[in-house]
Amino acid sequence: MEGPLGTTASTAIPRAWYGASLAEFLSAEPDAILGRLAANSGFADVPEQKDAWHYQLGFLKSHLSGLTGWLYLEFDIPRMGRRIDAVVLNGPVVFVVEFKVGEKVSVNDNVIYLESVDGTVKA
């Protein structure tokens, strides 16, 4: 099955640590997805990150059921040195999802981060 930008599940956008059609994601075992995320991360295996990914996978699986499209996890933003937790492509709509699992930052810090990703400044 060919996805956006001519990708397939096996040739997902290289900027994402995990990429699959929503159907493939929804039928995949969470441990298999976690394995791909961990293998592509290049960082130390930190329990807090695994816990965050477990939460994110459960949330996404429960909320994306019935949709078609593509999902990319840990998507690198070119030239910004940041990653987006999840990008969901559903028809012409792109959903950018940023989780704050276990974060200890203020709401204002999160707003600043989102503004920097968006490239616009909002009051």
The whole-model pTM stands at 0.72
Amino acid identity at 7 = T
Spatial separation of the C-alpha atoms in residues 110 and 90, rounded to whole Å: 25
pLDDT (tens digit, 9 = 90+) per residue, 66-109?
A: 999 999 999 988 777 778 889 999 999 888 888 876 656 555 55
For 36, the token pair is 């791909």
Tell me the domain boundaries of the chain: 4-118
